[in-house]
Structure 1
Amino acid sequence: MPNEIERKFLLANDDWKSEVTRSVVLKQGYLNSTKERTVRVRISGEQAYLTIKGPVTGVTRAEYEYEIPVSDGLALIDLCEQPLIEKTRYFVPLGDHLWEIDVFTGANEGLTVAEIELTAEREAFIRPAWLGREVSDDVRYYNSSLIHRPFTSW
C-alpha cells in the first residue's frame, strides 16, 4: 500500500519567495471528505488527478493517486463539495527535499502553508529560517477541512 508521509508548517516570513524554482495553479475539490477517507479531484496546470487517501496516523496515511483526463477532472470538479480549494503551489528545493508552499485564494485567502513529503516519519530534513510553527496534527489545516470551515471564517 502506498503511503504519504507529510509534515505541514506555517511560515515565519516571506524569505522563501527568493528560492522558488517553479509554480502551478491548483484547483481541487472533494467528492468525499470524511476523516476515514477522502476522495479528491485536482486540476494542476494542464493535468488532472483523482486521489484517494485513508485516515491519518501520526503524519502517515494511505494514498492512491491516478492521472485522469483533464476533461474528466473538470467534469468531476462540478460534482465536488463546495467551496473548492484554490491555491498556487510554489516549489522550493532544499537539500534532499522539495518544499511545497501553498498560497491559498478564494474562501481560504490569507492562508499560506509549507509542506514536505518524507520517506519516514522521523526522517531528518533541513528546517529553513522561513519555516514557522508545525501544524501537521491540526486538522483545521487539512485541505479537506478547509472546505467545511474555510480560513476566512476563523
Structure 2
Amino acid sequence: MGKEVERKFLVADPAWRSLVEAHIRISQFYVAAQPGRTVRVRISDGGSAALTLKFGNKARERDEFEYPIPLAEAEELMAFAIGRVIEKTRHHVRHRGYLYEVDVFGGVLSGLVVAELETPEDVPDEMLPDWLGREVTGESRFYNASLALGGIPEIAA
C-alpha cells in the first residue's frame, strides 16, 4: 500500500510542452466507484494494464493499491465499465526535482489539461512551476472518476 499526496491543477500556460520527457497514451475506466473508494483499470500505450484501488476522502491524501493485470483481461473488463472510457495522453514533466504528470484529455473531454503532482510529502507552493493554473485539488469534478461518471467540468484556468 502506498499513501500519496496528490495535488491537481489546471494548466494555464503551454510552457510545459518544451519540458516533456516522455508521454503515455492512456485509456482508463472504472468498474466500481462510490464516495471514498474506486476501482479503476488503466491501459497504457495499448501494451500493459493495471488495476488500481483507491480509498479515502481527504482531498490531498489517499491510500492506493495498484496491481499489473494481463492486457487481455483489462480489455475484457472494459465491457463492465461504468460511465465513459477516458482517453488521455499523459506527459511527464520535471520541475525542481518533482515529476508532474500533465494529462491532455481527448474525446468529449478535449480541451481539458490537468497537471497532477503525486509525492510522499506536501510540496510548498513556492516550489510549483509558473505554468500551473488554478489548483483544483479537492474539487471532485476534476477527479478522473468524476470525469468518467459525471458531466464535463467548465474548463477555465
Identify whether the pair has TM-score above 0.5, normalized to the shorter chain.
Answer: yes
CA distance in 1, matches of 2:102, 2:78: 23
Offset, 1:149: 2.1
Matched ranges for 1:18-29 at <5 A: 18-29=18-29
Please, which runs of 5 or more residues in structure 2 have no aligned partner?
A: none
CA distance in 2, matches of 1:151, 1:112: 13
CA distance in 2, matches of 1:148, 1:2: 25
CA distance in 2, matches of 1:94, 1:152: 27
Match in the other structure for 1:2: 2
How many residues in Structure 1 have an aligned counterpart in Structure 2? 153
Matched ranges for 1:43-82 at <5 A: 43-45=43-45, 46-82=47-83
Match in the other structure for 1:89: 90
TM-score (norm 1): 0.92
Runs of 4+ in 1 over 6 A off after TM superposition: none
TM-score (norm 2): 0.91
8 A Cα contact 2:83 2:150, kept in partner: no
Superposition CA RMSD, Å:
1.7
Counterpart AA for 2:141: R
Counterpart AA for 1:107: V
Please, which runs of 5 or more residues in structure 1 have no aligned partner?
A: none
Offset, 1:138: 0.4
